[in-house]
Structure 1
Amino acid sequence: MAQNKTTPRDLRVDDPKSNEPDARTDATNRFNADAEAQAKLASTEKLSSVNPQDFNGIFYPGGHGPLWDLAEDPASISLIETFIGADRPVALVCHAPGVLRHVKGPNGKPIVEGKEVTGFTNTEEEAVGLTRIVPFLVEDELAAQGGRFTRADDWASYVVQDGSEPRFLQGNGTAASICLEQGPVRRRQSNALHSLEGCSGLGLKVSIQPAA
């Protein structure tokens, strides 16, 4: 989901179809009942056609799909690198941090190297029976790229913000999705770098690491 520079309601949605009944929440039910949001979903665009200059931030929702497509997609990789390089927030939740496996920072090194990261855990993948099905495990891959993987208990909501890259936000769990989706919007409205402000009360654990 890319967030347009005009108003908080002016969002463009770039998201595959994924709305199984057992995954629905109050938030997804509101989304399904939102005519404006549904119109945007019906007219999604290819990532390769997205102009980063048109947006303030980008949010990658979860689901297993990104491990097969977005993790290897040159347009997605370039988009993330452009947003990070332009000091614009990038937020990812659940399996979505896996799309960072090939993303490089301005120094040419993996974007997660030396940073606190999180996402769908190995034990959660084992619990859903897909350890041997997915192309890679998010936790293992982020660690292999030099990230410092931290987590909460299985299925608990958790978000991290590394002080060395405060525009770079990751999380796992339903409440983390709500927090991270709203983060770039709050930053646009307040011009604040601390994008996790306002997430208290969502029932999630927050880890904010100071810059070294």
Structure 2
Amino acid sequence: MSLKNPNVVNPKQKKRVAIVIANPATSVTTGWPVGFWWSELTHPYFAFTEKGYEVELFSPNGGRCEGDGMSDPRDASGYSASDLISMGFISTPALAKLVQETRKVAEIDVSKFDAIVVAGGQAPMFSFEGATDLHKKFVEFYEAGKIAAALCHGVAVLRYARLSNGELLVKGKTVTGFANVEEDFADNAVWSMNLLPRGKHLMPWRIEDELRRLGANYIQAGLWREFAIRDGNLITGQQNFSGSRTAELISEALGA
């Protein structure tokens, strides 16, 4: 497939990035409320704004979004207690308000942005199948020669994104996303705490398995290792520790 405009990047122009976070959902495997993962929003947001980029937040349905509990630095689990970037974002009223008032993905004017970044969390695995506007916008960015990026379970969008010729966008691409070893780790953690019966999985399907099935060249860097990969104007990050690296690759691709 040839891109419509492979020379779209202008390094002298101020960059604009659309970050997409998932709307609140309910896990069909556990019955628990699920959302987006804070660091997968806040770390790229921080990296982009430090470079002077303009960043806008969107979600498939628009409106209020909520982070997964364990991704919140204030959560009793303490899992993300050291995430000072997310804590700073949450504690800044003007930034916290952005999460409460996201615009609908359908409202994204692709001509006005240089990149789209789809953050992860648990909700994408249960809600992205029906997020058809997101599938279309992601492909629109890609086919316009702009950066189309996804991170962690946000890579779930690649299960559904089809090019204008009907082919899956991910077919034949080198990509990453939440790895099987990380899914195993998460499953074992909830089993050991007796939060789920042993053998019952947190996720209804797995990113690594599905991307391989769809014909992608899936790669990963190991358990909880920061990792992101670029294949042309498609960029993917492995998991919640890869937000900054994903943002770096996007900035490199944008030439600024």
TM over 0.5: yes
Q: Where does residue 57 of structure 2 map in the other structure?
A: 13
Contact 1:94/1:173, CA 8 A, preserved across alignment: yes
Contact 1:120/1:138, CA 8 A, preserved across alignment: yes
Identify which of 88, 91, 95 aligns with 1:30: 88
Aligned-residue offset at 1:14: 2.3
Aligned-residue offset at 1:9: 4.9
- 2-side partners of 1:170 and 1:179: how far apart? 10
Describe the shift of the 1:9–1:36 C-alpha distance in structure 2 as closer, same or farther (beyond 3 A).
farther
User: Deviation string for 1:127-175 (max 9, x for gaps)?
Assistant: 111863422111111111100111111111111112xxx2110111444
Q: Where does residue 243 of structure 2 map in the other structure?
A: 177
How many residues are treated as equivalent by the alignment? 184
The answer to whether 1:2 aligns with 2:18 is yes
- 1-side partners of 2:249 and 2:53: how far apart? 14
- 1-side partners of 2:225 and 2:248: how far apart? 19
Q: Where does residue 88 of structure 1 map in the other structure?
A: 146
The answer to whether 1:143 aligns with 2:219 is no
Look at both structures and tell me which one has the larger radius of gyration over its CA atoms. 2
Aligned-residue offset at 1:41: 2.2
Q: Where does residue 98 of structure 1 map in the other structure?
A: 156
Identify which of 97, 103, 106 aligns with 1:48: 106
Letter of the 1:134 counterpart: M
Segments of 5+ residues of structure 2 without an aligned counterpart are 1-16, 20-50, 60-64, 70-74, 191-199
| SS of equivalent residue, structure 2 residue 181 | helix
What is the root-mean-square deviation in Å for CA atoms of aligned residues? Answer: 2.4
- 1-side partners of 2:55 and 2:225: how far apart? 28
Aligned-residue offset at 1:36: 3.2
| SS of equivalent residue, structure 1 residue 79 | helix
The answer to whether 1:161 aligns with 2:210 is no
Q: Where does residue 5 of structure 2 map in the other structure?
A: none
Contact 2:68/2:122, CA 8 A, preserved across alignment: no
Q: Where does residue 30 of structure 2 map in the other structure?
A: none
Aligned-residue offset at 1:60: 1.1
Contact 1:93/1:173, CA 8 A, preserved across alignment: yes
Letter of the 1:138 counterpart: I
Letter of the 2:206 counterpart: L
TM-score normalised per structure 2: 0.64
- 2-side partners of 1:105 and 1:23: how far apart? 37
Segments of 5+ residues of structure 1 without an aligned counterpart are 191-212
Q: Where does residue 118 of structure 1 map in the other structure?
A: 176
- 2-side partners of 1:115 and 1:153: how far apart? 20
Higher RCO structure (Cα 8 Å, ≥6 apart): 2
TM-score normalised per structure 1: 0.76
- 1-side partners of 2:92 and 2:252: how far apart? 21
Describe the shift of the 1:174–1:73 C-alpha distance in structure 2 as closer, same or farther (beyond 3 A).
closer
